[in-house]
Structure 1
């Protein structure tokens, strides 16, 4: 999620770090680039949009754009990358007594509810994130980049789970296996959302309902009888 002027921590009880003037200006420029890119991608397509157009829409140079993003793919996926980073923060903050699956399920729900609290259609809003799902799925270049990033995130999730449980992920395969299964459930929820008009209209609540429904089916799918 895009960082606001006061940067939230994963724990609601923890104090917020107030950003300085320079950091706020940088954050506003980054947000403006993400918002401009998002609007251009949706209006004229990802392939037809250039870095120069994105920079020009914010009245900054191409050089300034590259201070924030390595390429067009990175700015396109910035909303999702920020949301995924926030999910990791939520996961790290979950109570130690929760089992790994409970912690991941609670963390992804918390992340989506927080995303839903951001108003409007800007880069940190739920509208932007949900629109991005459809853009990714219909753009092969973005889909490939997103899947690469998802693989990297799975490794991070496995590392966090292994640390919580006091395990060595190089020896014990459970953290990596669970992270992969979790990632598949979340991706299937996203795909279900794109084809479910009711979930569309419900916004973040619709996405959370789909995620919860998929998790409820996880146990029977893996271990129960299908007949």
Structure 2
């Protein structure tokens, strides 16, 4: 049972995240300071640092939340599914609850606008890519465990996750460039790219 104090702390953290993203998306990441965020929430700088190591961590807080959601979905996939299918279904079925996960803290529209800021801000993009590598390793461990293989000697879990991660990164880049900044548009791209993956790897691309 969550205590009143814990709920208050969660509300403060959510307010800091929401305000940080609003400022990053309206006045720019580089032009926004920790003091700006704290002042807008009416808390001290010291309070901000109780929750986040810096503004980069606040900027990526929602990404951390959605990734954690995905990882838990992968853990819960039925054991009979092949590894790539488990990853695919984790994305597609997890999408149905992702909206609610995001909306519990910030409007989805704000979350998606923050994606644009991340793509155009080198320090955030670098942090995002660094986190992606860490998450891929976590998922490789999950796949190895569920398939009963040794990650140190069997390359298949990391290979599978590397391919899947490449598909997701391509999706992010294309979605950012296409101009339809909606969750549905991103989902449609994921589905399209995953459906093309098998033929792209195993069939000839020549038409004559």
With structure 1 as the length reference, what TM-score do the two structures score?
A: 0.85
Q: Which residue of 1 aligns with 2:197?
A: 218
Match for residue 71 of structure 1 among 44, 51, 54: 54
* Count of aligned pairs between the two proteins: 206
In 2, Cα distance between equivalents of 1:153 and 1:177: 14
In 2, Cα distance between equivalents of 1:180 and 1:212: 17
Q: Which residue of 2 aligns with 1:153?
A: 135
Q: Please give the residue correspondences for 1:51-66 in structure 2 after superposition, counting only pairs within 5 Å.
A: 51-66=34-49
RMSD: 1.6
Q: Which residue of 1 aligns with 2:108?
A: 126
In 1, Cα distance between equivalents of 2:90 and 2:107: 18
Asked if the contact 1:83–1:111 (Cα under 8 Å) also holds between the matched residues in 2, the reply is: no
In 2, Cα distance between equivalents of 1:25 and 1:185: 39
**2:72 counterpart of 1:89:** yes
Question: What secondary structure, in the 3-state scheme, does the structure 1 residue paired with 2:200 have?
Answer: helix
Runs of 4+ in 1 over 4 A off after TM superposition: none
Asked if the contact 1:118–1:125 (Cα under 8 Å) also holds between the matched residues in 2, the reply is: no
Question: Relative CO higher for 1 or 2, CA cutoff 8 Å, sep ≥ 6?
Answer: 2
Which sections of structure 1, spanning at least 5 residues, go unmatched?
Answer: 1-17
Q: Which has the higher helix share?
A: 2
Q: Please give the residue correspondences for 1:1-227 in structure 2 after superposition, counting only pairs within 5 Å.
A: 18-117=1-100, 123-197=105-179, 199-200=180-181, 203-227=182-206
In structure 2, relative to structure 1, the CA distance for the partners of 1:131 and 1:112 (3 Å cut) is farther
